Protein backbone atom coordinates (compact mmCIF):
# COMPACT_ATOMS: atom_id res chain seq x y z
CA UNK A 1 0.00 0.00 0.00
CA UNK A 2 1.30 3.44 -0.93
CA UNK A 3 1.15 6.54 1.27
CA UNK A 4 -0.11 9.47 -0.80
CA UNK A 5 1.56 12.83 -0.12
CA UNK A 6 0.54 16.23 -1.48
CA UNK A 7 3.53 17.93 -3.10
CA UNK A 8 4.19 20.89 -5.39
CA UNK A 9 4.59 20.34 -9.10
CA UNK A 10 8.28 21.29 -8.85
CA UNK A 11 8.79 18.67 -6.16
CA UNK A 12 7.10 16.10 -8.39
CA UNK A 13 9.33 16.96 -11.34
CA UNK A 14 12.37 16.64 -9.08
CA UNK A 15 11.58 12.93 -8.70
CA UNK A 16 12.70 12.33 -12.30
CA UNK A 17 16.28 11.21 -12.94
CA UNK A 18 18.33 10.97 -16.14
CA UNK A 19 17.61 7.82 -18.19
CA UNK A 20 14.24 7.25 -16.43
CA UNK A 21 11.22 5.90 -18.26
CA UNK A 22 8.31 8.27 -17.62
CA UNK A 23 4.71 7.63 -18.69
CA UNK A 24 2.27 10.45 -19.44
CA UNK A 25 -0.66 8.14 -20.14
CA UNK A 26 -3.18 8.63 -22.92
CA UNK A 27 -5.17 11.46 -24.48
CA UNK A 28 -6.96 13.67 -21.98
CA UNK A 29 -5.14 11.84 -19.18
CA UNK A 30 -1.78 13.45 -19.98
CA UNK A 31 -0.47 15.90 -17.36
CA UNK A 32 0.11 19.58 -18.10
CA UNK A 33 1.63 21.29 -15.07
CA UNK A 34 3.98 18.36 -14.46
CA UNK A 35 5.04 18.48 -18.11
CA UNK A 36 5.95 22.18 -17.82
CA UNK A 37 7.84 21.65 -14.56
CA UNK A 38 9.76 18.72 -16.03
CA UNK A 39 10.74 20.85 -19.03
CA UNK A 40 12.11 23.48 -16.64
CA UNK A 41 14.49 20.83 -15.25
CA UNK A 42 15.87 19.88 -18.66
CA UNK A 43 19.37 21.28 -18.09
CA UNK A 44 20.01 18.72 -15.37
CA UNK A 45 18.55 15.75 -17.24
CA UNK A 46 19.60 13.57 -20.16
CA UNK A 47 18.04 10.57 -21.83
CA UNK A 48 14.65 10.82 -20.11
CA UNK A 49 12.29 8.63 -22.13
CA UNK A 50 8.63 9.65 -22.13
CA UNK A 51 5.84 7.39 -23.34
CA UNK A 52 2.40 8.72 -24.30
CA UNK A 53 -0.49 8.35 -26.72
CA UNK A 54 -2.66 10.80 -28.72
CA UNK A 55 -1.24 14.12 -27.56
CA UNK A 56 -3.98 16.74 -27.63
CA UNK A 57 -2.04 19.88 -26.69
CA UNK A 58 1.61 21.03 -27.01
CA UNK A 59 4.12 19.34 -24.71
CA UNK A 60 6.66 21.53 -22.97
CA UNK A 61 9.27 18.75 -22.91
CA UNK A 62 9.24 18.78 -26.72
CA UNK A 63 8.88 22.52 -27.27
CA UNK A 64 11.79 23.27 -24.92
CA UNK A 65 14.16 20.62 -26.27
CA UNK A 66 14.27 20.89 -30.09
CA UNK A 67 17.45 18.85 -30.44
CA UNK A 68 16.30 16.04 -28.17
CA UNK A 69 19.30 16.44 -25.89
CA UNK A 70 17.24 15.85 -22.76
CA UNK A 71 13.94 14.14 -23.58
CA UNK A 72 13.01 11.30 -25.95
CA UNK A 73 9.34 11.05 -27.00
CA UNK A 74 7.72 7.66 -27.62
CA UNK A 75 4.10 7.38 -28.72
CA UNK A 76 1.51 4.60 -29.10
CA UNK A 77 -0.74 6.54 -31.49
CA UNK A 78 0.01 9.85 -33.19
CA UNK A 79 -2.16 12.91 -33.09
CA UNK A 80 -1.44 15.73 -35.52
CA UNK A 81 0.91 17.20 -32.90
CA UNK A 82 2.85 13.94 -32.48
CA UNK A 83 3.06 13.62 -36.27
CA UNK A 84 4.66 17.06 -36.50
CA UNK A 85 7.39 16.03 -34.09
CA UNK A 86 7.91 12.73 -35.89
CA UNK A 87 8.53 14.73 -39.06
CA UNK A 88 11.16 16.68 -37.11
CA UNK A 89 12.81 13.46 -35.97
CA UNK A 90 11.75 13.94 -32.34
CA UNK A 91 8.96 11.37 -31.89
CA UNK A 92 9.14 7.61 -32.27
CA UNK A 93 6.12 5.38 -32.85
CA UNK A 94 5.53 2.17 -30.87
CA UNK A 95 3.54 -0.35 -32.97
CA UNK A 96 0.56 -1.90 -31.22
CA UNK A 97 -2.95 -3.21 -31.59
CA UNK A 98 -4.68 -0.83 -29.19
CA UNK A 99 -6.66 -3.54 -27.40
CA UNK A 100 -3.42 -5.26 -26.41
CA UNK A 101 -1.95 -2.20 -24.65
CA UNK A 102 -2.69 -3.28 -21.05
CA UNK A 103 -1.10 -6.66 -21.76
CA UNK A 104 1.97 -4.97 -23.24
CA UNK A 105 2.55 -3.15 -19.95
CA UNK A 106 1.94 -6.22 -17.83
CA UNK A 107 4.01 -8.66 -19.90
CA UNK A 108 6.59 -6.88 -22.03
CA UNK A 109 7.40 -3.44 -20.64
CA UNK A 110 9.92 -3.01 -17.85
CA UNK A 111 8.59 -1.25 -14.76
CA UNK A 112 7.86 2.42 -15.40
CA UNK A 113 10.03 4.66 -13.22
CA UNK A 114 7.29 7.27 -12.83
CA UNK A 115 3.80 7.79 -14.20
CA UNK A 116 1.92 11.08 -13.94
CA UNK A 117 -1.78 11.06 -14.89
CA UNK A 118 -4.37 13.83 -14.94
CA UNK A 119 -7.39 12.87 -12.79
CA UNK A 120 -10.35 14.37 -10.98
CA UNK A 121 -9.81 15.55 -7.41
CA UNK A 122 -10.29 12.88 -4.77
CA UNK A 123 -13.89 11.99 -3.86
CA UNK A 124 -15.46 11.26 -0.47
CA UNK A 125 -14.58 7.57 -0.79
CA UNK A 126 -10.89 8.21 -1.42
CA UNK A 127 -10.88 7.73 -5.22
CA UNK A 128 -9.39 9.80 -8.01
CA UNK A 129 -11.27 9.24 -11.27
CA UNK A 130 -9.13 8.85 -14.40
CA UNK A 131 -11.75 10.55 -16.58
CA UNK A 132 -12.57 9.61 -20.18
CA UNK A 133 -9.14 8.04 -20.78
CA UNK A 134 -9.59 4.57 -19.30
CA UNK A 135 -7.62 2.91 -22.13
CA UNK A 136 -4.52 1.39 -20.45
CA UNK A 137 -4.06 3.79 -17.52
CA UNK A 138 -4.62 1.18 -14.80
CA UNK A 139 -2.04 -1.15 -16.35
CA UNK A 140 0.54 1.66 -16.22
CA UNK A 141 -0.21 2.29 -12.56
CA UNK A 142 0.29 -1.40 -11.82
CA UNK A 143 3.76 -1.27 -13.42
CA UNK A 144 4.94 2.08 -12.05
CA UNK A 145 7.52 2.49 -9.29
CA UNK A 146 6.19 5.99 -8.53
CA UNK A 147 2.55 7.02 -9.15
CA UNK A 148 1.74 10.73 -9.35
CA UNK A 149 -1.67 12.21 -10.06
CA UNK A 150 -2.22 15.77 -11.27
CA UNK A 151 -5.77 16.61 -10.24
CA UNK A 152 -7.91 18.92 -12.33
CA UNK A 153 -11.44 20.05 -11.60
CA UNK A 154 -12.23 20.16 -15.34
CA UNK A 155 -11.81 16.38 -15.77
CA UNK A 156 -15.25 14.77 -16.08
CA UNK A 157 -15.97 11.83 -13.80
CA UNK A 158 -16.22 8.91 -16.21
CA UNK A 159 -18.01 5.99 -14.59
CA UNK A 160 -16.76 2.51 -15.36
CA UNK A 161 -15.13 -0.54 -13.82
CA UNK A 162 -11.59 0.11 -12.63
CA UNK A 163 -11.60 3.77 -13.66
CA UNK A 164 -11.18 4.92 -10.09
CA UNK A 165 -7.72 5.15 -8.58
CA UNK A 166 -7.76 4.75 -4.80
CA UNK A 167 -5.52 6.96 -2.68
CA UNK A 168 -3.75 3.82 -1.44
CA UNK A 169 -2.49 3.28 -5.02
CA UNK A 170 -0.96 6.77 -5.29
CA UNK A 171 2.39 8.10 -4.05
CA UNK A 172 2.06 11.82 -4.74
CA UNK A 173 -0.74 14.28 -5.50
CA UNK A 174 -0.35 17.59 -7.37
CA UNK A 175 -3.14 20.16 -7.32
CA UNK A 176 -3.57 20.94 -11.00
CA UNK A 177 -6.26 23.60 -10.72
CA UNK A 178 -9.16 23.78 -13.16
CA UNK A 179 -7.75 24.61 -16.60
CA UNK A 180 -10.11 23.48 -19.40
CA UNK A 181 -9.40 20.23 -21.22
CA UNK A 182 -8.23 20.30 -24.84
CA UNK A 183 -11.01 19.95 -27.38
CA UNK A 184 -10.85 18.01 -30.64
CA UNK A 185 -12.99 19.34 -33.51
CA UNK A 186 -15.09 16.66 -35.21
CA UNK A 187 -14.44 18.04 -38.70
CA UNK A 188 -16.97 19.27 -41.22
CA UNK A 189 -17.90 16.66 -43.86
CA UNK A 190 -17.59 17.62 -47.50
CA UNK A 191 -19.57 16.28 -50.44
CA UNK A 192 -17.41 13.15 -50.76
CA UNK A 193 -17.73 12.29 -47.07
CA UNK A 194 -21.50 12.77 -47.21
CA UNK A 195 -21.75 10.44 -50.21
CA UNK A 196 -19.66 7.80 -48.47
CA UNK A 197 -21.63 8.14 -45.24
CA UNK A 198 -24.92 7.86 -47.10
CA UNK A 199 -23.98 4.46 -48.51
CA UNK A 200 -22.98 3.19 -45.08
CA UNK A 201 -26.10 4.55 -43.39
CA UNK A 202 -28.28 2.58 -45.82
CA UNK A 203 -26.72 -0.68 -44.61
CA UNK A 204 -27.28 -0.05 -40.89
CA UNK A 205 -30.31 -1.73 -39.35
CA UNK A 206 -32.34 -1.21 -36.20
CA UNK A 207 -30.51 -2.65 -33.23
CA UNK A 208 -27.02 -2.35 -34.78
CA UNK A 209 -24.06 -1.77 -32.44
CA UNK A 210 -21.74 1.02 -33.62
CA UNK A 211 -18.04 1.73 -33.60
CA UNK A 212 -16.83 4.82 -35.45
CA UNK A 213 -13.60 6.75 -35.39
CA UNK A 214 -12.85 10.46 -35.35
CA UNK A 215 -13.09 12.95 -38.19
CA UNK A 216 -15.45 14.36 -40.76
CA UNK A 217 -16.57 10.99 -42.13
CA UNK A 218 -17.76 9.40 -38.87
CA UNK A 219 -19.41 12.71 -38.04
CA UNK A 220 -21.29 12.50 -41.35
CA UNK A 221 -22.34 8.89 -40.68
CA UNK A 222 -23.75 9.82 -37.29
CA UNK A 223 -25.49 12.85 -38.78
CA UNK A 224 -27.23 10.76 -41.43
CA UNK A 225 -28.22 8.10 -38.90
CA UNK A 226 -29.87 10.81 -36.85
CA UNK A 227 -32.35 11.37 -39.65
CA UNK A 228 -32.68 7.77 -40.85
CA UNK A 229 -35.60 6.72 -38.63
CA UNK A 230 -33.52 4.01 -36.97
CA UNK A 231 -34.21 2.71 -33.48
CA UNK A 232 -32.44 1.03 -30.60
CA UNK A 233 -28.88 1.45 -31.80
CA UNK A 234 -26.08 0.45 -29.45
CA UNK A 235 -22.53 1.68 -28.98
CA UNK A 236 -19.46 -0.40 -28.18
CA UNK A 237 -16.47 1.61 -29.35
CA UNK A 238 -12.91 2.52 -28.49
CA UNK A 239 -13.46 6.26 -29.00
CA UNK A 240 -16.53 8.21 -27.96
CA UNK A 241 -17.09 11.20 -30.24
CA UNK A 242 -19.53 14.08 -30.54
CA UNK A 243 -21.53 12.40 -33.30
CA UNK A 244 -22.33 9.56 -30.93
CA UNK A 245 -23.40 12.05 -28.27
CA UNK A 246 -25.83 13.48 -30.81
CA UNK A 247 -27.34 10.02 -31.37
CA UNK A 248 -27.69 9.41 -27.64
CA UNK A 249 -29.32 12.77 -27.02
CA UNK A 250 -31.73 12.14 -29.91
CA UNK A 251 -32.85 8.85 -28.33
CA UNK A 252 -31.64 6.80 -31.30
CA UNK A 253 -29.02 5.05 -29.18
CA UNK A 254 -30.71 3.09 -26.39
CA UNK A 255 -28.31 0.11 -26.13
CA UNK A 256 -31.34 -2.08 -25.40
CA UNK A 257 -30.51 -4.69 -28.06
CA UNK A 258 -26.90 -5.22 -27.00
CA UNK A 259 -25.91 -8.67 -25.80
CA UNK A 260 -22.88 -7.35 -23.93
CA UNK A 261 -23.58 -4.51 -21.50
CA UNK A 262 -27.23 -3.90 -22.47
CA UNK A 263 -28.33 -0.40 -21.53
CA UNK A 264 -24.80 1.03 -21.53
CA UNK A 265 -22.74 2.96 -24.06
CA UNK A 266 -19.30 1.37 -23.73
CA UNK A 267 -16.10 3.19 -24.70
CA UNK A 268 -12.43 3.31 -23.80
CA UNK A 269 -11.61 6.99 -24.28
CA UNK A 270 -13.22 10.19 -25.47
CA UNK A 271 -12.06 13.36 -27.17
CA UNK A 272 -14.20 16.11 -28.60
CA UNK A 273 -16.08 19.17 -27.47
CA UNK A 274 -16.80 20.56 -24.02
CA UNK A 275 -20.41 19.45 -24.58
CA UNK A 276 -19.20 15.85 -24.89
CA UNK A 277 -17.22 16.15 -21.65
CA UNK A 278 -20.27 17.53 -19.82
CA UNK A 279 -22.37 14.63 -21.08
CA UNK A 280 -19.81 12.12 -19.76
CA UNK A 281 -19.54 13.66 -16.28
CA UNK A 282 -21.21 11.27 -13.83
CA UNK A 283 -23.45 9.80 -16.54
CA UNK A 284 -24.63 6.35 -15.34
CA UNK A 285 -25.55 5.29 -18.90
CA UNK A 286 -21.92 5.44 -20.01
CA UNK A 287 -19.27 2.89 -19.12
CA UNK A 288 -15.58 3.77 -19.52
CA UNK A 289 -13.60 0.53 -19.79
CA UNK A 290 -10.02 -0.55 -20.27
CA UNK A 291 -9.16 -0.99 -23.92
CA UNK A 292 -8.68 -4.75 -23.62
CA UNK A 293 -12.38 -4.88 -22.75
CA UNK A 294 -13.53 -2.71 -25.66
CA UNK A 295 -11.15 -3.72 -28.44
CA UNK A 296 -10.34 -7.41 -28.34
CA UNK A 297 -12.20 -9.08 -31.24
CA UNK A 298 -13.62 -11.77 -28.94
CA UNK A 299 -15.24 -9.01 -26.86
CA UNK A 300 -16.51 -7.03 -29.84
CA UNK A 301 -18.15 -10.12 -31.34
CA UNK A 302 -20.24 -10.73 -28.22
CA UNK A 303 -22.64 -8.10 -29.55
CA UNK A 304 -24.78 -8.82 -32.62
CA UNK A 305 -24.91 -6.56 -35.69
CA UNK A 306 -21.65 -4.79 -34.94
CA UNK A 307 -21.00 -2.03 -37.48
CA UNK A 308 -17.39 -0.83 -37.62
CA UNK A 309 -16.62 2.35 -39.61
CA UNK A 310 -12.99 3.40 -40.04
CA UNK A 311 -10.93 5.54 -42.37
CA UNK A 312 -8.01 4.42 -44.47
CA UNK A 313 -5.62 6.50 -46.54
CA UNK A 314 -4.64 4.08 -49.32
CA UNK A 315 -5.76 0.64 -50.49
CA UNK A 316 -4.20 -1.57 -53.12
CA UNK A 317 -6.05 -3.64 -55.71
CA UNK A 318 -5.78 -6.77 -53.57
CA UNK A 319 -7.49 -5.08 -50.60
CA UNK A 320 -4.55 -4.23 -48.35
CA UNK A 321 -5.39 -1.06 -46.42
CA UNK A 322 -2.64 1.32 -45.30
CA UNK A 323 -4.24 3.49 -42.62
CA UNK A 324 -1.35 4.70 -40.48
CA UNK A 325 1.54 5.80 -42.67
CA UNK A 326 2.27 7.34 -46.03
CA UNK A 327 5.45 5.62 -47.08
CA UNK A 328 7.85 5.97 -44.17
CA UNK A 329 6.05 9.05 -42.84
CA UNK A 330 4.04 7.89 -39.86
CA UNK A 331 0.60 9.50 -39.60
CA UNK A 332 -1.43 7.93 -36.79
CA UNK A 333 -1.28 4.31 -35.62
CA UNK A 334 -2.79 0.87 -35.95
CA UNK A 335 -5.14 1.75 -33.12
CA UNK A 336 -8.19 -0.47 -32.99
CA UNK A 337 -8.89 -0.65 -36.71
CA UNK A 338 -7.83 -4.23 -37.34
CA UNK A 339 -9.39 -5.47 -34.11
CA UNK A 340 -12.76 -3.89 -34.92
CA UNK A 341 -12.61 -5.16 -38.51
CA UNK A 342 -12.12 -8.67 -37.13
CA UNK A 343 -14.61 -8.24 -34.31
CA UNK A 344 -17.33 -6.98 -36.63
CA UNK A 345 -16.73 -9.87 -39.02
CA UNK A 346 -17.10 -12.35 -36.16
CA UNK A 347 -20.25 -10.65 -34.84
CA UNK A 348 -23.56 -12.23 -35.87
CA UNK A 349 -24.78 -9.99 -38.70
CA UNK A 350 -21.73 -7.73 -38.33
CA UNK A 351 -20.33 -5.40 -41.00
CA UNK A 352 -17.03 -3.57 -41.28
CA UNK A 353 -16.44 -0.60 -43.57
CA UNK A 354 -13.11 0.90 -44.62
CA UNK A 355 -13.68 4.33 -46.13
CA UNK A 356 -11.59 6.69 -48.22
CA UNK A 357 -12.09 9.49 -50.69
CA UNK A 358 -11.00 8.32 -54.13
CA UNK A 359 -8.36 11.02 -54.75
CA UNK A 360 -6.12 13.51 -52.98
CA UNK A 361 -3.82 16.28 -54.13
CA UNK A 362 -0.04 16.28 -53.70
CA UNK A 363 2.20 19.03 -55.06
CA UNK A 364 -0.70 20.26 -57.19
CA UNK A 365 -1.33 16.85 -58.77
CA UNK A 366 -4.38 14.63 -58.26
CA UNK A 367 -3.54 11.13 -57.12
CA UNK A 368 -5.64 8.01 -56.60
CA UNK A 369 -6.02 6.51 -53.14
CA UNK A 370 -6.82 3.18 -54.80
CA UNK A 371 -3.52 1.97 -56.21
CA UNK A 372 -2.02 -1.07 -57.90
CA UNK A 373 0.57 -1.30 -55.14
CA UNK A 374 0.95 0.61 -51.90
CA UNK A 375 3.42 3.46 -51.59
CA UNK A 376 6.79 1.91 -50.69
CA UNK A 377 7.22 1.97 -46.94
CA UNK A 378 3.50 2.21 -46.19
CA UNK A 379 2.34 -0.02 -43.36
CA UNK A 380 -0.50 -2.48 -43.96
CA UNK A 381 -3.01 -1.89 -41.17
CA UNK A 382 -5.74 -4.24 -42.40
CA UNK A 383 -4.58 -7.26 -44.45
CA UNK A 384 -6.44 -8.20 -47.62
CA UNK A 385 -7.89 -11.30 -45.94
CA UNK A 386 -9.66 -9.14 -43.34
CA UNK A 387 -11.03 -6.37 -45.53
CA UNK A 388 -14.81 -6.53 -45.97
CA UNK A 389 -16.57 -3.44 -47.39
CA UNK A 390 -14.58 -0.66 -49.04
CA UNK A 391 -16.40 2.60 -49.70
CA UNK A 392 -15.55 5.69 -51.73
CA UNK A 393 -17.80 8.43 -53.03
CA UNK A 394 -18.12 6.32 -56.22
CA UNK A 395 -19.57 3.23 -54.60
CA UNK A 396 -19.20 0.34 -52.19
CA UNK A 397 -17.77 -3.15 -52.77
CA UNK A 398 -17.44 -6.24 -50.58
CA UNK A 399 -14.14 -8.09 -50.97
CA UNK A 400 -14.94 -11.14 -48.84
CA UNK A 401 -14.90 -14.31 -50.94
CA UNK A 402 -13.54 -12.59 -54.04
CA UNK A 403 -10.49 -13.73 -56.02
CA UNK A 404 -7.59 -11.35 -56.65
CA UNK A 405 -8.95 -10.56 -60.11
CA UNK A 406 -12.45 -9.93 -58.77
CA UNK A 407 -11.07 -7.74 -56.01
CA UNK A 408 -9.05 -5.69 -58.46
CA UNK A 409 -12.01 -5.09 -60.77
CA UNK A 410 -14.30 -4.31 -57.85
CA UNK A 411 -11.92 -1.73 -56.41
CA UNK A 412 -11.28 -0.20 -59.83
CA UNK A 413 -15.05 0.27 -60.15
CA UNK A 414 -15.09 2.62 -57.13
CA UNK A 415 -11.85 4.44 -57.97
CA UNK A 416 -12.06 7.92 -59.45
CA UNK A 417 -13.04 7.58 -63.14
CA UNK A 418 -9.92 9.35 -64.40
CA UNK A 419 -7.72 6.59 -62.90
CA UNK A 420 -9.76 3.49 -63.73
CA UNK A 421 -8.25 2.77 -67.15
CA UNK A 422 -4.70 3.17 -65.83
CA UNK A 423 -5.41 0.93 -62.82
CA UNK A 424 -6.89 -1.83 -64.96
CA UNK A 425 -3.95 -1.70 -67.37
CA UNK A 426 -1.47 -1.97 -64.50
CA UNK A 427 -3.45 -4.81 -62.92
CA UNK A 428 -3.44 -6.79 -66.16
CA UNK A 429 0.28 -6.15 -66.69
CA UNK A 430 0.90 -7.47 -63.16
CA UNK A 431 -1.22 -10.56 -63.95
CA UNK A 432 -3.64 -9.72 -61.19
CA UNK A 433 -6.34 -9.87 -63.83
CA UNK A 434 -5.62 -12.85 -66.14
CA UNK A 435 -6.08 -12.66 -69.91
CA UNK A 436 -9.67 -13.18 -70.91
CA UNK A 437 -10.97 -12.25 -67.43
CA UNK A 438 -13.60 -9.51 -67.49
Please give the pLDDT value at position 220.
Answer: 87
The rounded distance, in Å, linking the Cα atoms of 192 and 416 is: 11
What mean pLDDT do residues 328-349 have?
Answer: 97
Section 127-149 average pLDDT:
98
Q: How far apart are CA 316 and CA 373, in angstroms?
A: 5
Q: Strand, coil or helix: what is 212? A: strand
pLDDT score at 438: 72
What pLDDT is recorded for position 116?
98
pLDDT digits (tens, 9 = 90+) for 352-392: 999 999 999 988 899 999 999 999 999 999 999 999 999 99
Mind listing the pLDDT tens digit for each residue in 152-176?
Answer: 999 999 999 999 999 999 999 999 9
Strands, E assignment, 327-388: 329-330, 351-355, 359-362, 365-368, 370-371
Distance, in Å, from the CA atom of 201 to the CA atom of 327, rounded to the nearest integer, reads: 32
Whether residue 266 is predicted with pLDDT greater than 80 in this model: the reply is yes
How many Cβ atoms sit within 10 Å of the Cβ of residue 370? 24
- pLDDT value, residue 88: 96
| Residue (of 158, 141, 134) closest to 293 by Cα position | 134
Angle of helix 216-226 relative to helix 191-203, nearest 10 degrees?
Answer: 50
pLDDT band at 147 (very low <50, low <70, confident <90, very high): very high
Structure confidence at residue 104 as a pLDDT band (50, 70, 90):
very high
Q: What integer pLDDT is reported at residue 228 of this predicted model?
A: 84
Average pLDDT over residues 178-204: 92
**pLDDT range class, residue 398, cuts 50, 70, 90:** very high
Domains of the chain: 5-175 (3.40.1080.10), 191-429 (3.40.1080.20)
Phi-psi region of 156 (alpha: psi -120 to 50; beta: other; left: phi over 0): beta
Q: What amino acid positions are annotated as catalytic residues?
A: 238
Measured distance between the N- and C-terminal CA atoms of the chain, rounded to whole angstroms = 70
Please say if the pLDDT value at position 227 is more than 90. no
Q: How far apart are CA 195 and CA 201, in angstroms?
A: 10
Residue 226 binned pLDDT confidence (cut-offs 50, 70, 90)? confident
Burial of 231 (0-12, 13-18, 19+ CB in 10 A): middle
Considering the chain, what is the average pLDDT of its residues?
96
Reported as a pLDDT band with limits 50, 70 and 90, residue 188 is confident
Give the global pTM: 0.96
User: How would you classify the pairing of strands 370-371 and 209-212?
Assistant: unpaired
**Is the distance from CB of 313 to CB of 356 less than 8 angstroms?**
yes
CA distance 133 to 136: 8
Q: From CA 346, how far away is CA 222, in angstroms rounded?
A: 23
Q: Look at phi and psi of residue 415 and say left if phi exceeds 0, alpha if psi is from -120 to 50, else beta.
A: beta
Q: Report whether pLDDT(1) > 80.
A: no
Amino acid sequence: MRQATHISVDEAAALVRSDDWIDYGFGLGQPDLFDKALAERRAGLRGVKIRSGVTLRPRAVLESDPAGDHFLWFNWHFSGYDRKYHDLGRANYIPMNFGEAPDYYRRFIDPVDLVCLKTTPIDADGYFNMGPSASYQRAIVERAKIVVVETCRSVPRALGPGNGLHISEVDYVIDGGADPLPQLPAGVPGDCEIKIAGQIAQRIEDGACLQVGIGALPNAVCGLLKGANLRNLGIHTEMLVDGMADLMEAGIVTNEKKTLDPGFTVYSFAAGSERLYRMIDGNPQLKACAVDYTNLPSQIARNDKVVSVNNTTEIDLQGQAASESSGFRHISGTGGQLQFVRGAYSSHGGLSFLCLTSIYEKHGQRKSRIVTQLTPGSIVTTPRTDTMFVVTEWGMVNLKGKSVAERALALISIAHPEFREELEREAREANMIPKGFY
